[in-house]
């Protein structure tokens, strides 16, 4: 919410806030669904997002925005608590993504965001 407001977007009071664990969120960049922990009563009004800001995550409960990224800039956010990890490591990749933004600026090799799939 704070990033959206800083960029000039608006927030809306939700009819029913998102509180607790087990909130499914879809990541548009990967197509995967992760189980998240949330605690907020406002959502970003996607109609007010300025040019250059893309929606990266969406709540599968009500379709509200759950993530933003600035195109061409090392900036992203999510509207949940990735550190809470209701799913074993559902949101762990966000921390790796953040580290990779730093590594990229330093010219260092990037880490894989998600572990390689186990071979059967």
86-97: pLDDT as tens digits:
666 788 899 999
pLDDT for residue 58 = 98
Q: Which CATH number does the domain housing residue 77 bear?
A: 3.40.50.880
107 located within any domain: no
Q: What is the mean pLDDT of residues 77-105?
A: 88
What range does the domain containing 36 cover? 2-86
48 located within any domain: yes
From 100, 86, 99, 96, select the one nearest 33 (Cα to Cα): 86
> Which residues lie closer than 8 Å to 6 by C-beta, 6 or more apart?
none
Q: Token digits for 89? A: 């490591």
Question: Which tens digit of pLDDT belongs to each residue from 45-55?
Answer: 999 999 999 99
pLDDT for residue 89 = 77
Decide if 81 contacts 35 (C-beta within 8 A).
no
Number of domains in the chain: 1
């Amino acid at each position: 919410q704070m990033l959206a407001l800083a960029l000039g977007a608006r927030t809306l009071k939700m009819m029913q806030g998102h509180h607790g664990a087990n909130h499914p969120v879809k990541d548009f960049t990967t197509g995967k669904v992760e189980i998240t922990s949330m605690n907020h009563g406002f959502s970003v009004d996607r109609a007010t997002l300025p040019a250059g800001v893309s929606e990266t995550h969406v709540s599968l409960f009500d379709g509200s925005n759950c993530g933003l990224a600035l195109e061409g800039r090392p900036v992203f956010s999510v509207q949940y608590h990735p550190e809470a990890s209701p799913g074993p490591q559902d949101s762990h990749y966000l921390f790796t993504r953040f580290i990779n933004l730093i590594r990229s600026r330093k010219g260092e090799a990037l880490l894989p965001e998600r572990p390689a799939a186990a071979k059967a």
